[in-house]
Amino acid sequence: VKIFAPNIEQRDVVDHLKGSPTEEKRNVLVESARLARGNIQDLAELKASEFDAVIFPGGFGVAKNLCSWAVDGKNCTVHEHVNSTLQAFHSAKKPIGLCCISPVLAAKVFPGCEVTVGQDKNVDGRFPDAETASAIAELGCKHICKNVNESHVDKDNKIVTTCAFMCKAPLHEIFDGIGTMVQEVLKLA
């Protein structure tokens, strides 16, 4: 297992205590190294031939830094190294795991694929970003409705997705869904 991140400046920096943007500038690779405790490499150095699978975490950082979804929605662009990484694993027929908002990366890169970001309706207020499912469909992909503790496997494309924090759910349910995604990726590897 190795951890990678792009060596780029973050779109913006948020003070999570105050919930507001700051003027500070930070680098995605440096911030990711803090979370990974330093054991990380530049995404540009990733070689699909050296790995059995790839998993992209989710979070708003994906929507702002790995692509421009947070600003441009379905008209977003995907960062070049993210795109080339996804293409390399797909071409090698190696599994790709995506959770939370990151399934939109597959929707942009692989037209016609199947992914989930949870539900396509805001069921009981648990899926406040349900319109993302419609945007995925508008990109020519199939959105599969799943509960937070489930994942979806697109067997043809070897893409496994789960909604994670796209659902307002207890942490243990989110954990279970991410766990099923990882298990399904490993089964395909």
Catalytic (active-site) positions: 100
Strands 96-99, 114-115: pairing kind? unpaired
Q: What angle do CA 136, 19, 57 make, to 5 degrees?
A: 40
Q: Write the DSSP string, 125-156.
A: GS-TTTHHHHHHHHTT-EE----TT--EEETT
Q: Is the dihedral of CA 26, 104, 128, 160 positive or negative?
A: negative
Backbone dihedral region for residue 171 (phi beyond 0: left; psi -120 to 50: alpha; all else: beta) = alpha
Under 8 Å CB-to-CB from 17, ≥6 apart: which residues? none
